[in-house]
Amino acid sequence: MSIVMTGGGTGGHLVIIKAVKEQLVKNNGRQTAGGDGPQNGEVNLVYIGSTIGQDRKWFGEDSDFEAKYFLETRGVVNQGAMGKIKSLLMLAKAIRQAMKLLERHQASVVFSVGGFSSAATSIAAKLKGIPLVIHEQNAALGSLNKLLKPYATAFISSYLEESPIHAYPIKQIFFEQAHIRKKVGKIIFLGGSQGAQAINRLALALAPKLKERGIGIIHQAGEKNIDEVKKQYAELGVDAEVFGFTTKLAELMNEADFAIARAGASTLWELAATGLPTLFIPYPYAASDHQYYNAKFLVDKGLAWVMRENEIDEEKVLALLDEALEEKSRGLIDVVERDGSEQIAALLGRAASAS
């Protein structure tokens, strides 16, 4: 059978494709260990994305996919009148292409993670009568996912009670390194690999007072900001571990007792899985303000804090470091289910077999 994966544009979408794809490949390895090949349930994987965004960067050379296609599409939202018309014409053409690709690969199910990259293939799946499984990463539904939700065979969200799966696809290392925090000895500032100026400014403003308290600093300043941020720490006489992109985020989170971070879905659930109490400062221009609502999901459970960028108060932030952390840390670990990728891969297998 063939599973077609679609969607992307940004890393927040594509990381879900990657996690579930790796689980399906692992399952393939188990099923074909005896050398029986497709007769023993092997799944062929196909990726359909867009020429715009990060899709090709992530999967252009990925040999786990039997085939990869990048269609000419772009977002419709936030375009002027003529831009919307052009985007819709591109979408219509891409839908026709996607329908042919689904037929060529005899798709059994389409797995979409949303974003403009997914529109053509998701719509093509419904036109062809192929089961469509959607994963929504954020508490505020993306515009396309909201539109397609009524037509989905399954709609997966860690925030919705009616979702068939609540576990978010998180690498096991975050669970393996989880532990209860009781007091702050080290703080990690997470602005993403591109950095977040508001978080960078806050980190540097707090640095002297954190030093006075004997609190260590780990700071993801963004690739383009590393040299300048290191220079400013040096001028303040503060030792800090400054980095941009890293493959060792789980280990760095494990070292910390408190985090100040953006509230992208993957970051939020990784922080929760490791039991790390967090003050979230959402990116204010995120579509549908989804980062704020991601954070609010945990805040409403009494497991996190949130401040808008224009509400940042250094004294209030410092006061949070004196709060009892154990209850929040324990609650975070309890709220996150394991095996998200495995559960989603199993659901896709069932949907494909039933088609």
Can you give the pLDDT at residue 38?
A: 39
State the pLDDT at residue 116: 86
pLDDT for 78 equals 67
Can you give the pLDDT at residue 39? 40
- CA 193, CA 81: separation in Å to the nearest integer? 34
CB distance 336 to 168 below 8 Å: yes
Residue 41 has a pLDDT of 59
Residue among 159, 105, 111, 141 at smallest CA distance from 8 = 111
Over the chain (355 residues), what is each successive 10-residue block's mean pLDDT?
A: 90 90 88 46 89 91 96 78 83 96 97 92 97 96 92 97 95 93 97 88 98 98 94 97 92 97 96 98 93 97 97 97 95 94 95 85
In the numeric block, which tokens belong to residue 239? 């030792």
Question: SS in 3 state form for the chain?
Answer: CEEEEECCCCHHHHHHHHHHHHHHHHHHHHHCCCCCHHHHCCCEEEEEEECCCCHHHHHCCCCCCCEEEEECCCCCCCCCHHHHHHHHHHHHHHHHHHHHHHHHCCEEEEEECCCHHHHHHHHHHHHHCCCEEEEECCCCCCHHHHHHHHHCCEEEECCCCCCCCCCCCCCHHHHHCCCCCCCCCEEEEECCCCCCHHHHHHHHHHHHHHHHCCCEEEEECCHHHHHHHHHHHHHHCCCCEEECCCCCHHHHHHHCCEEEECCCHHHHHHHHHCCCCEEECCCCCCHHHHHHHHHHHHHCCCCCEECCHHHCCHHHHHHHCCCCCHHHHHHHHHHCCCCHHHHHHHHHHHHHHHC
Q: In terms of C-beta density within 10 A (0-12 exposed, 13-18 middle, 19 or more buried), how is residue 157 classed? A: buried
**In the structure encoding, which two tokens stand for residue 300, read together?**
């409403």
CB 103 within 8 A of CB 130: no
* Nearest alpha-carbon partner for 157 in 337, 355, 283, 306: 337
CA distance 168 to 145: 17
Q: What is the pLDDT of residue 143?
A: 87
* Residue 13: how many other CB atoms lie within 10 Å: 28
Domains in the chain, please, with CATH? 2-170+339-354 (3.40.50.2000), 172-335 (3.40.50.2000)
**Amino acid identity, position 203:** A
Please list, residue by residue across 316-349, b when 16 or more beta carbons sit within 10 angstroms of its beta carbon and e when fewer do.
ebeebbeeebeebbebbbebbbebbbbbbbebbb
Q: Is the pTM of this model over 0.85?
A: yes
Residue reference for tokens 């996607």: 98
User: By the 8 A CB rule, do 58 and 6 touch?
Assistant: no
pLDDT of residue 76: 72
Of the candidates 67, 45, 46, 70, the residue with the CA atom closest to the CA atom of residue 56: 70
According to DSSP, the residues that pair with 279 across neighbouring strands are: 260, 305
- Sheet of 132-136: strand order equals 67-71, 44-50, 2-6, 107-112, 132-136, 154-157
